[in-house]
Amino acid sequence: MNQICARCLMDTSEPDIRFDSNGYCNHCTNYLALYRQVQEAAADPNTIDSFFNYIRSRGKKSPYDCIVALSGGTDSCYVALLCKKYGLRTLLVHFDNGWNTPIAENNIQKVIEYTGFDFFRYRIEEEMFKKLQIAFLKASVPDVELPTDAAIPGALYEVAEKNKVRSILLGCNYHVEGILPWSWQYDARDVRYLKGVYHTYYANGDLKNFPYKSVFKEIQLVLFKGIKMYYPLNYTAYDRSEAAAQLEQIGWQRYGGVHHESAYTKIVQSYILPVKFGIDYRRIHLSIKVLQGKLSRDEALALLRKSPYEDKENEILIEEVCKRFGLTRREFDELMKLPPKTYKDYPNSAALLSLIHRLRRLAKAMARVFFRDKIASVGD
């Protein structure tokens, strides 16, 4: 029988979940510890000013103070607006995997026009990327979005290195996200896993133009070139609906759901994951609202009882996925019926990555205690 956390909405649909003697799960316990740090940093209005001053000082010798990774979604567009407000010399970079919705394209355009910042669209090689997406769908693992999640940081590091920019700003933040179990979406930095899945279906496939970055390459870029990623929204009392309201004033439009700026992400989160794997991302989004006291647990449970996939638009999107991947609808349905697997069924470097994660957390905790370094220590 399914056990559900007594504090949030996570349950045993996440196989690695653990409960303490109060019936609280490891996910909300970890989230609350990190969120308290974020709240503490954001409570001081000077934190965000110091953060942008710090980014400006890092960019002195570069043609740009920073890169903003612009997806078209609320969080990243708002980061671009903050850069404009603080007068940072900014290069907007959009990673294009060919699945942008028309709303996302409009929103990117509006942010470019309003900020007047330079813009670079990173287009990934279409055929190679399509094969990777098909391989992950056939592999029967929930990490169907891993090709995109692996390519984004790689592409950003590549553009930063080429343009000699040292700071990359992202919209991810602990105000609206922060719970994501590996069994639901495994670590995108695991190059061994990415290659393992790809070569299972395309034995002679070539990934030489894929912009992945191994953890070692990332460490090298940080240590020798000083290129680092930052999460500015963790340094301010960010409210997504207020941000959306501000963005609407420049002609930006709202989406139906979180991360629905990509048609593929929409079909993955609202159909493939819940139907095939019993994974419902609304559990994460609603849990966070409950943990922050913005929604009662009962209200959240009532919302969760509604079906995530009874949506006419999904049928149109499934047809689109089949057409692009060269699958018949029947083949797609067969893939949906394959027994679910996880990253553990393929070559992976989970043990090593887990150790590196723990070391990074320890380094951040030390920076916080010994150097009182809010900027180095908030978030992951």
Distance in Å, CB of 183 to Zn ion, minimum: 15
Q: Which is nearer to Zn ion, 28 or 263 (CB)?
A: 28
Binding window for Zn ion (CB under 5 A); candidates: 24-32, 58-66, 152-160, 188-196: 24-32
Helix axes 282-291, 26-43, angle to 10 degrees: 50
Residue 25 engages Zn ion in binding (rule: CB under 5 A):
yes
Distance in Å, CB of 10 to Zn ion, minimum: 5
Backbone angles phi, psi at 51, to 5 degrees: -60, -50
* Residue found under tokens 């110091």: 50
The edge-to-edge listing of strands for the beta sheet with 66-69 is 118-123, 90-96, 66-69, 167-169, 228-230
Residue 8 engages Zn ion in binding (rule: CB under 5 A):
yes
With CB under 5 A as the contact rule, the residue among 5, 227, 279, 290 that binds Zn ion is 5
* Residue found under tokens 């559990």: 283
Q: Which is nearer to Zn ion, 34 or 112 (CB)?
A: 34
Distance in Å, CB of 302 to Zn ion, minimum: 18
**DSSP code string of 35-98:** HHHHHHHHHSTHHHHHHHHHHHHHTTTSSSSEEEE--SSHHHHHHHHHHHHTT--EEEEEEE-S
**Per DSSP, what are the bridge partners of residue 283?**
none
Q: Which is nearer to Zn ion, 7 or 260 (CB)?
A: 7
Instruction: State the Rg of the chain over Cα.
Output: 20
User: What tokens does 127 get?
Assistant: 């055929």
Site string for Zn ion, 217-246 (x = CB under 5 A): ------------------------------
* Residue found under tokens 């007047």: 116
Binding window for Zn ion (CB under 5 A); candidates: 26-34, 105-113, 143-151, 244-252: 26-34
Q: Which is nearer to Zn ion, 10 or 194 (CB)?
A: 10
Please give the size of the binding site for Zn ion, defined by CB under 5 A: 6
CA atoms within 13 A on the CB side of 256: 14
Binding window for Zn ion (CB under 5 A); candidates: 20-28, 243-251, 341-349, 366-374: 20-28
Binding window for Zn ion (CB under 5 A); candidates: 9-17, 35-43, 268-276, 307-315: 9-17
Residue 286 engages Zn ion in binding (rule: CB under 5 A):
no
Q: Which is nearer to Zn ion, 96 or 177 (CB)?
A: 177
User: What tokens does 300 get?
Assistant: 């959240």
Q: Which is nearer to Zn ion, 10 or 69 (CB)?
A: 10
CA distance 93 to 304: 35
DSSP class of 291: H
User: What tokens does 171 get?
Assistant: 């919209």
Distance in Å, CB of 14 to Zn ion, minimum: 10
Q: Please, are residues 169 and 228 in contact by the beta-carbon 8 Å criterion?
A: no
Binding window for Zn ion (CB under 5 A); candidates: 22-30, 36-44, 293-301, 352-360: 22-30
User: What tokens does 308 get?
Assistant: 């995530």
Distance in Å, CB of 21 to Zn ion, minimum: 14
Binding window for Zn ion (CB under 5 A); candidates: 27-35, 160-168, 253-261, 277-285: 27-35
With CB under 5 A as the contact rule, the residue among 4, 14, 28, 157 that binds Zn ion is 28
CA distance 371 to 361: 15
Q: Which is nearer to Zn ion, 28 or 79 (CB)?
A: 28
Q: Which is nearer to Zn ion, 67 or 288 (CB)?
A: 288
Name the burial class of residue 273, with classes exposed (0-12), middle (13-18) and buried (19+) by CB atoms within 10 angstroms of its CB. buried
- Residues near Zn ion (CB under 5 A) are 5, 7-8, 10, 25, 28
